[in-house]
Structure 1
């Protein structure tokens, strides 16, 4: 049943092709504004956070792919407070389908593929322009890092959704993890203040999503407390995050007692 409903929702988004193309273009335009911000920073300073413009674009491309895919699949989880407040969550809980699966498939937005496509284009171009070797180790990291980043961002979206069971209109608190993590992942971490860098490494592992793998691929020295071995920790960290956040999610669902209406 879930597969049929998901297929119907996805097809409905592409029925009006002009509107769908406009939605994709808006996502690309949004990504271009973020690219312009990085360009402006590095146009006046040839090296920003220890990286050149081309190297910084590797970071951006990797982060854009990871966040775009996670936002498309898991992005609706950070708005679960609306379902809690309106009582819609009670309707979902009585269905014979796992709640998390229902929420994930309820609003998959294909327009977010625009950001993914832009990120992929920038990523491929920047890797070639930066002269990254095409050895088996490098190719493995090139493929695995964005996928691990997608899982990490997905866990952050689930964490943001889980917080809604304890906070009243806590979507802004959740955004600090998701969209704050996206910004931290998209820029060279060497430009972040040390306390911020530590937070976005060991609390919200945003630097592991793109900066550390990109630095290893392009030969950029890593600032303290980062280490080249961390480039390969994306998947283990994602698994650990999902285990922790999954427990938080289950605790929140058990705590939910209804909208009171």
Structure 2
């Protein structure tokens, strides 16, 4: 499955890289567009010293970890939100008869390596934050783990979004509200949000385990909402549980799918 994904993604990458100038411009353009979110944070700190009780560097750390995880998942798997387009066009039928997972085919359909510019932008912000904060090395092991778990959680959300489109073929925009909306929400300290919203993104849609809870551990900060300290280490368990649920939803969607007859 992994080998097939890489082969398909490489095919689209070679096709895009054939036009080198366009390929480079799109990467730079993606970098600059993503930098607008960073610019918004810098504007806020031009007028204040803290945001939700967190310093500029701490906010950039949360922004960078969530940004890298989201941008990687966006580049690698966000094409799952195009499921309804294939259902309407009748091209999803062809995916089902090929000896390759339909999920892999959907994830790599029109794969866009130019989105790597967004990854570079978030990574640059994260590197700067880590250098400025000078965090104890004993806690840095959590950083790659939280990025990996974040990627898995975001990918599961895109899979859920794709699965929903088997039932509601016009639900792509609704799914995007949860995927792209979750990416934006997780880039800020959860202390700036209301308590009810934080409960929702902790117990219902577990975005808190992408970078908020593990980020509190890395930054050695207390949870302003009073969750126990062990919650900071639940990211892998949450990622696995959400992946299993997303896989189940996708399989149920496949089973309920009815061919267009094309």
**TM-score of the two chains, using structure 1 as the length reference:** 0.94
Alignment of 1:112 with 2:115, yes or no, is yes
State the secondary structure of the residue aligned to 1:146: helix
Decide whether aligned partners of structure 1 residues 85 and 22 sit closer, same or farther in structure 2, where only a CA change above 3 A counts.
same
Aligned to 1:195: 196
Aligned to 1:11: 14
CA deviations 1:154-173 (Å, max 9, x no partner) are: 00110111110111310121
CA deviations 1:118-168 (Å, max 9, x no partner) are: 111111110121121112xx1210111101100110001101111101113
Pairs within 5 Å for 1:1-80: 2=4, 4-80=7-83
Aligned to 1:131: 134
State the secondary structure of the residue aligned to 1:186: coil
Aligned to 1:155: 156
Decide whether aligned partners of structure 1 residues 133 and 171 sit closer, same or farther in structure 2, where only a CA change above 3 A counts.
same
Aligned to 1:210: 211
CA contact (8 A) 2:140 2:218 kept: no
Aligned to 1:98: 101
Shift of 1:203: 1.7
Shift of 1:228: 3.5
Structure 1: distance between partners of 2:169 and 2:106: 19
Q: Give the gaps of 5 or more residues in structure 1.
A: none
Structure 2: distance between partners of 1:18 and 1:60: 30
Structure 2: distance between partners of 1:192 and 1:241: 23
Shift of 1:106: 2.0
Decide whether aligned partners of structure 1 residues 257 and 193 sit closer, same or farther in structure 2, where only a CA change above 3 A counts.
same
After the TM superposition, which of the residue ranges 198-207 and 244-253 deviates more from structure 2? 198-207
**TM-score of the two chains, using structure 2 as the length reference:** 0.93
Structure 2: distance between partners of 1:200 and 1:43: 29
Aligned to 1:239: 240
State the secondary structure of the residue aligned to 2:137: coil
Aligned to 2:92: 89
CA contact (8 A) 1:24 1:114 kept: yes
Equivalences, count: 259
Structure 2: distance between partners of 1:17 and 1:228: 49
Decide whether aligned partners of structure 1 residues 86 and 41 sit closer, same or farther in structure 2, where only a CA change above 3 A counts.
same
Shift of 1:6: 3.4
Structure 2: distance between partners of 1:17 and 1:50: 45
